[in-house]
Structure 1
Amino acid sequence: MASISGLSGFDSAQFVDQLMQLETAPKTRLQTRVRSEESAVSALQTLNTRLAALSTKAADTGRAGAWSTLTASSTTPGVTATATAATAATSFSVTVDRLARTHQLTFAAPAALTGSVTGGATAEPTTVRLDRLDGTAPLDLETDGTLQGLVDALNDPANETGVRATAVRVAEGSYRLLVESTATGTASDFALSAADGSPLLGGATARAGEDAAVTLGGITATSSTNTFDDLMPGVTLSLAPPATAGSTATLTIAREAGAVQTAVKSLVDDINSLLTSFDTVTASGGTGSAKGMLAGDVAVRGVRTALFDAVYPKDGTTLAELGIQTDRYGKLVLDEKALAAAYEKDPEKVAAALGSAGEGFAARVRDVAKSASAPVDGTLTVAVSGRQDGIKRLADSVAQWDLRLELRRTTLTRQFTALETALTQMQSQSTWLAGQIGSLPSRNG
């Protein structure tokens, strides 16, 4: 309905706007609640994400391998060792008898790269035979008959020869063929000839492949490679230049508490950071402090309490002797020196008390964090879903208020327009009457 506001001197549009401000107040309160709930959901989602990450970290921190950190050191370059969790701390000496080496053939007659070198007395002039002497059938290789073609055929990965070939330049335009196995050890030997078995390039001088060998306390161990897997339970020994035959190395396997300290400290720091965040968002407010957006949320406070209580073993003992305690501010405190001393004294006890197996500290933290952040039924996940449903209902209410207010404005506009029309008519009538009265003749006495 069209408005004629102001014709009578009465501004109906202004009155309608002022009345609508009063009518809009409930909608404004709903919108404020929506924004507040959205902020709460954002805070919950952040806590949920951090708890999921903490669950993963606690599982990794407490896994068995993390508590058996061993380092292996050697006194001789080229002699190294690695140790696994199955290894006991120890020290031993090892003497290098020999390093593993490949089987090698050096052919006597030089030739040009383009010279014909593969022909035998009765064989195909471009075919050579490679016998790897391992019980498998000999491999016949087709070449173009030249020295370069022979090298290419031996090195072609598609042929799977198990050898590598090189043409060594000995004079201008003159080369000698060198072929060696890609593997090391005594079982790496092979033979190379024309297809009919006749020798190539004047025959070859062989350097036999050898197994690596080391001696420990009078016991000799061999390996086809320069790596001795499980030379002792959990210990792998490796040889490489500059280690030489006859050199002796002292290997020391020792526990390394530093890695355990770092892992536990990182876990404690993450827990404390989360506890601080929980305290911030659930703060009740007071003198000099802001009220948290999740103040009074019982579920959130419950997760905070469970996370803090994870430091206490279920048998009623404490972790104080392992360096983990609580302070009066509701946070965890780690004494790294006490942890290192406890680990050095009894690593298995520390692993059981702090690890993620059984009822260890990391296991309890993992379970609390996982229970809170599980994708479907986690405590905070459910809280997020509940608040999001509430936001949808509030949004529906806001939409309904939009329709209601639109109808209310239409009604008020119609009413005040009718009132202003009536006032205008009355004003016109008053003016007409005043004119009529003014035109009447006046009488004296």
Structure 2
Amino acid sequence: MALTATGIGSGLDISSIVSVLVDAEKSPKETLFTQKENKISAKVSGIGTLKSALSKFQDAAVKLQSGELLNQRTVSNGGSSYFTATADQYSQPGNYSIKVEQLAKSQKLAGATVADPTQGVGEGSLAFTVNGESFSVAIGASDSLSAIASKINNASDNKGVSATVIKSDSGSRLVFTSTDTGTDNQMLVTATDNSGTALSDMFNGTNLETLQDAQDSIVYIDGQKLTSQSNSIEGAITGVTLSLTKADVGETSTLTISQDTDSVKTNIESFVSAYNALITSMNTLSSFDVDSNTSAALQGDSMIRSLESQLRKTVSQRVSVDGVESALYELGISTDSEGKLSIDDTKLTAAVTSNMSLVEGVFSTSDTGLAYQFDNIVESYTKVGGVIDTRNNSYTEETSRLTDQREAFALKMEQLEARLLKQFNAMDLIVAQLNQESSSLTDRLNSLPGVVSS
């Protein structure tokens, strides 16, 4: 008769014995798996930290590619209510006298007044010509003023006319406004009736009232008269855009344009700070703690060494500015013993104040400027399919292989456990049989004549 429970025949705790034997085989390997997984996880996390630092540094470098952000201006209108102004990097510092004689205006035309704006006003078409371009809309017999306005505003070929219904004590009327200011954008409106004269009576001839004439802006800059179709004037002063807001030819305002040295310095200081943060991150990720004998996640990683080499080389790179080789140290930026950048504020201020062509040339010369070179280095690491992406893919593949190995090993341990249980149960059955035979033999011997049981 087979045993139904382990250990009955031998008296041994077979389940515990098998468990200990399997654990002795399994624990070292599982520990190794866990160590490898933790190491990969730490590397992935470390690369994420590096990528974040690289992205912040790239953002700071990209700002220095733009002459507009690097070579900034401050603009003051002296509190004038007659205009506002903006200036780009091409504007020259200086003071300018501004007088606004008149503002540019859009033309406004109004049709005849009707008592009930919900009723149709006629059947035919309305044609508009603005600055040499024309379009027309079909008017239905039942179209109200609002329906006509909607057709005009939504016309796909509308050349610059806005229509709206205005209600007053006299009734309601349709008002047309040129969407652009200036005399070039005066409107010509022509009504054509399919029958009768209803549309013509409302919109043709003297029935079309001028509410506001089209008007050009007139401004005097340092005494020089300039007429414009718009209240936004570009190019009258190189690199400057004037936005006219009020007119009074008797009032003179002063426009002052200055070099914005503080903003330029801030952008350069942000670049240096981001570079140093990147170096700190790289040093931390590749460090080795002698006291604890512990390596950081990317200690000894060739990727870190290659990146560091490229950054150091670029920092010392000389750039041709107006035919003269120039470098960061001429702007007061130098490398310290730890590979980080430091700024000589006096020297940087002098360069920003009196030699912006040097500053702009070192950083933002197309392709060869340091801001472009650093951007290219970072991009090679952070872009899709770049160094970091490739490395992360390799870690993903390695993690997948470890998962497969874990599953295969777990199956192997299940098979080992089943085999050991089978072997021990077989041994237990044999021991039980031997015990039975021994007990039976003992009983027979004890029953022989002359045998005295003690």
Offset of residue 412 of structure 1: 2.1
The equivalent residue for 2:249 is 245
Give the structure 1 partner of residue 180 of structure 2.
183
Indicate the residue corresponding to 2:439 in structure 1.
431
Distance 2:225 2:86 in 1: 19
SS in 1 for 2:297: coil
> What are the Cα deviations for residues 377-407 of structure 1, in whole angstroms up to 9, with x where unaligned?
x333333333333333333333332233233
| C-alpha RMSD of the superposition | 4.0
- Equivalents in 2 of 1:209, 1:364: separation in Å? 52
Q: What is the 5 A alignment of 1:54-69? A: 54-55=57-58, 57-69=60-72
In structure 1, distance between residues paired with 2:250 and 2:344: 47
**Offset of residue 223 of structure 1:** 0.5
Q: Which residue of 2 aligns with 1:326?
A: 335
Alignment of 1:190-229 (within 5 A): 190=187, 204=209, 208-229=213-234
Query: In the superposition, relative to structure 1, how do residues 413 and 67 fare at CA in structure 2: closer, same or farther (>3 Å)?
Result: same
Q: 1:44 Cα shift?
A: 4.8
CA distance in 2, matches of 1:138, 1:70: 44
CA distance change for structure 1 residues 37 and 116 in 2, over 3 Å: closer, same or farther? closer
Q: 1:129 to 1:363 in 2, by over 3 A?
A: closer
Shifted more, 70-79 versus 270-279: the winner is 270-279
- What is the SS of the residue equivalent to 1:183? coil
From 69, 74, 80, the equivalent of 1:71 is: 74
| Correspondence for 2:388 | 380
Of 353, 360, 373, which residue of structure 2 is paired with 1:351? 360
Residue-pair matches, total: 430
Q: Which runs of 5+ in 1 are unaligned?
A: 119-124
The answer (yes or no) to whether the contact 1:186–1:224 under 8 Å persists in 2 is yes
1:15 aligned residue: 17
Q: How does 1:254-293 map to 2 (within 5 A)?
A: 254-287=258-291, 290-293=294-297
Give the 3-state SS of the residue equivalent to 1:415 in structure 2. helix
Query: Which amino acid is 1:391 matched to?
Result: T
Query: Which amino acid letter does the alignment assign opposite residue 153 of structure 2?
Result: P
Asked whether the equivalents of residues 130 and 190 of structure 1 are also in contact (C-alpha less than 8 Å), the reply is: no
Which residue of 410, 413, 426 corresponds with 2:418?
Answer: 410
SS of residue paired to 1:231 = coil
CA contact (8 A) 2:261 2:349 kept: yes
Cα gap change, 1:409 to 1:82, in 2 (>3 Å): same
TM-score, scaled to structure 2: 0.78
| 2-structure distance, mates of 1:14, 1:157 | 88
Does 1 or 2 have the higher relative contact order (CA < 8 Å, sep 6+)?
1
Question: Alpha-carbon deviations, 1:332-354, whole Å to 9, x = none?
Answer: 33455643332112112112223
More deviation, 135-144/416-425: 135-144
Distance in 2, Cα, partners of 1:180 & 1:387 = 65
Question: Does the 8 A contact of 2:145 with 2:174 survive in 1?
Answer: no
Which of 400, 403, 410 aligns to 1:395? It is 403
In the alignment, which residue of structure 1 is the partner of 2:153? Answer: 157
Is 1:63–1:357's contact at 8 Å kept on the other side of the alignment? no
1:177 shift after superposition: 8.3
Contact 1:229/1:236 (<8 A) preserved: yes
- Evaluate the alpha carbon distance shift between residue 21 and residue 382 of structure 1 in structure 2; reply closer, same or farther with a 3 A threshold: same
Q: Structure 2 vs 1, CA of residues 66 and 433 (structure 1 numbering), >3 Å: closer, same or farther?
A: same
Worse-matched range after superposition: 36-45 or 79-88:
36-45
Which sections of structure 2, spanning at least 5 residues, go unmatched?
320-324
The residue identity in structure 2 corresponding to 1:17 is S
- Note closer, same or farther for the CA distance 1:255–1:438 as it changes in structure 2 (3 Å cut): same
Map 1:15-54 to 2 at 5 A. Answer: 15-47=17-49, 49-50=51-52, 51-52=54-55, 54=57
Percent identical pairs in the alignment equals 24
Deviates more, 1:56-65 or 1:247-256: 56-65
TM-score between the two structures when normalised by the length of structure 1: 0.79
- Shift in Å, 1:142: 4.5
Moved more, 43-52 or 12-21: 43-52
Structure-2 change in CA distance of 1:381 and 1:213 (3 Å): same
